[in-house]
């Protein structure tokens, strides 16, 4: 399956520039410059490149040296060929290497039938309880998402972006309805929220959050289902759940959210993951040490 790649689009470049980041294009692959101390930097190619070749690497290395980048972070869409002789090191994944994708060409009845029984039950429970779903592209509502996300982060130990990050997403993509904030309301309170992107042939569930209160009404199931129905109605081909655990290991930090997502059915899609093309061995070693120390302290 060939999903549209929001992170390699002109629109994503606009978002990165709104964040104050410098961008570059090499062979239709977007790179974002991330500044580091002492005038150093690294380049990041999110969900790219499409293909990693020796010629491509040579061009990237020239740009990296010009921008004083000590490494180039890549997320190739294809497995790295053994013929590549450059020094490339596997690193912690930035964007999920494993995801779950729904085929929206299936009928609504088929999609429901493919769901696990418990997921269907929870979906119907949310409807019965009277959970209300709202949709907005107004960037001012990013604060609602952010407040709920902080609760999710504290409870489930997930990372959370700044309020400005979510606001910029809606400011950049909202006017074109490429980013929609889905909100679940119950008894007058917002208790769950999803940020969902609409691009090319793919709708992606980028960020989700749920409050500690009223978890028994199962709002995230109805929230997710509404986005799926909207994606299907508007003619999109795929619904990307944007990240699951690489296996069904119950001790994995994404085990809970993976069970939730797999409740909707779908097909698993795997990417190679995130790698670093090392430009300066010495500076890269210093960078890794400093990152380790920052995590400790």
Give the per-residue pLDDT at 292.
79
204 inside domain: yes
Q: How many domains does the chain have?
A: 2
Q: Are residue 51 and residue 178 in the same domain, yes or no?
A: no
The residues of the chain scoring below 50 in pLDDT are none
224 inside domain: yes
CA dihedral (199, 203, 207, 213) positive or negative: positive
1 inside domain: no
Listed in sequence order, the residues at least 6 apart from 43 whose beta carbon sits closer than 8 Å to its beta carbon are: 24, 31, 32, 33, 34, 60, 63, 64, 67, 69, 71, 72, 73
152 inside domain: yes
Give the per-residue pLDDT at 296.
66
Q: What are the tens digits of pLDDT across the range 67-116? A: 999 999 999 999 988 878 778 999 999 999 999 999 999 999 999 999 99
Give the per-residue pLDDT at 254.
84
Q: What are the tens digits of pLDDT across the range 114-129? A: 999 999 999 999 999 9
Range of the domain at 24: 6-94+272-296
Instruction: Kindly report whether the global pTM for this prediction surpasses the value 0.85.
Output: yes
First-to-last alpha carbon distance for the chain, in angstroms, is: 43
* CA atoms within a 13 Å half-sphere pointing along the CA-CB vector of 73: 17
For helices 117-129 and 219-233, give the axis angle rounded to 10 degrees. Answer: 100
Q: Are residue 148 and residue 265 in the same domain, yes or no?
A: yes
Q: Are residue 159 and residue 236 in the same domain, yes or no?
A: yes
Q: Are residue 85 and residue 137 in the same domain, yes or no?
A: no
Q: Are residue 65 and residue 172 in the same domain, yes or no?
A: no
Q: Are residue 169 and residue 90 in the same domain, yes or no?
A: no
Q: Are residue 115 and residue 257 in the same domain, yes or no?
A: yes
Q: What is the CATH number of the domain that holds 77?
A: 3.40.630.30
Q: Are residue 107 and residue 235 in the same domain, yes or no?
A: yes
Q: Are residue 50 and residue 122 in the same domain, yes or no?
A: no
Q: Are residue 103 and residue 187 in the same domain, yes or no?
A: yes
């Amino acid at each position: 399956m060939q999903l549209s790649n929001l992170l390699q689009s002109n629109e994503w470049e606009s978002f990165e520039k709104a964040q104050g980041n410098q961008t570059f294009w090499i062979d239709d692959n977007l790179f974002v410059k991330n500044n580091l101390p002492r005038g150093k930097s690294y380049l990041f190619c999110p969900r790219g490149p499409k293909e990693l070749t020796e010629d491509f690497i040579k061009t990237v290395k020239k740009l990296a040296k010009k921008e004083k980048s000590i490494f180039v972070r890549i997320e190739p869409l294809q497995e790295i060929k053994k013929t590549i002789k450059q020094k490339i090191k596997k690193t912690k994944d930035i964007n999920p290497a494993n995801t779950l994708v729904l085929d929206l060409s299936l009928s609504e009845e088929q999609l429901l039938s493919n769901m696990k029984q418990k997921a269907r039950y929870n979906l119907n429970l949310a409807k019965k309880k009277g959970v209300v779903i709202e949709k907005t592209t107004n960037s001012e509502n990013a604060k609602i998402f952010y407040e709920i996300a902080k609760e999710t982060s504290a409870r489930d130990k997930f990372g959370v972006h700044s309020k400005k990050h979510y606001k910029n997403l809606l400011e950049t993509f909202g006017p074109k309805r490429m980013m929609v904030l889905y909100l679940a309301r119950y008894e007058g309170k917002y208790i769950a929220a999803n940020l969902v992107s609409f691009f090319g042939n793919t709708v992606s569930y980028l960020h989700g959050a749920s409050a500690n209160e009223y978890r028994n009404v199962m709002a995230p199931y109805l929230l997710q289902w509404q986005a799926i129905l909207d994606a299907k109605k508007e003619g999109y081909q795929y619904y990307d759940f944007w990240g699951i655990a690489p296996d069904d290991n119950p001790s994995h930090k994404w085990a809970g959210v993976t069970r939730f997502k797999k409740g909707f059915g779908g097909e698993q899609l795997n990417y190679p993951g995130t790698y670093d093309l090392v430009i300066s061995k010495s500076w890269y070693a210093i960078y890794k040490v400093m990152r380790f120390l920052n995590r400790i302290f």
